[in-house]
Amino acid sequence: MSKSATISDTVAKPLLLPGTAVCNALGIRNNSGDYSHLIRMLANSLIWTVAGVIAMAFLV
């Protein structure tokens, strides 16, 4: 059985990349329990919130 990427996987991958990079830098893998998902969510939230605020500051 081959694993194929869906359209949603393709769209979500760049958006989730910052959190994945942070987890990889910290040495936290997907199999380390729920903490990897929490850290990934925190990193993504912080990065994309800051990016949104900066983008809005330049647009206004």
Q: What is the pTM of this model?
A: 0.74
Structural domain of 34: 7-59
DSSP string over 1-60: ------HHHHHHHHHHHHHHHHHHHHT--TTS-THHHHHHHHHHHHHHHHHHHHHHHHH-
39 assigned to some structural domain: yes
CB 58 within 8 A of CB 29: no
1 assigned to some structural domain: no
Gap between the Cα atoms of 22 and 28, Å rounded: 9
Model confidence at 2, in pLDDT bands (50, 70, 90)? low
19 assigned to some structural domain: yes
Number of independent structural domains in the chain: 1
Span 9-50, pLDDT tens digits: 889 899 999 998 998 898 887 766 668 889 899 999 999 999
For tokens 């969510």, name the residue. Answer: 41
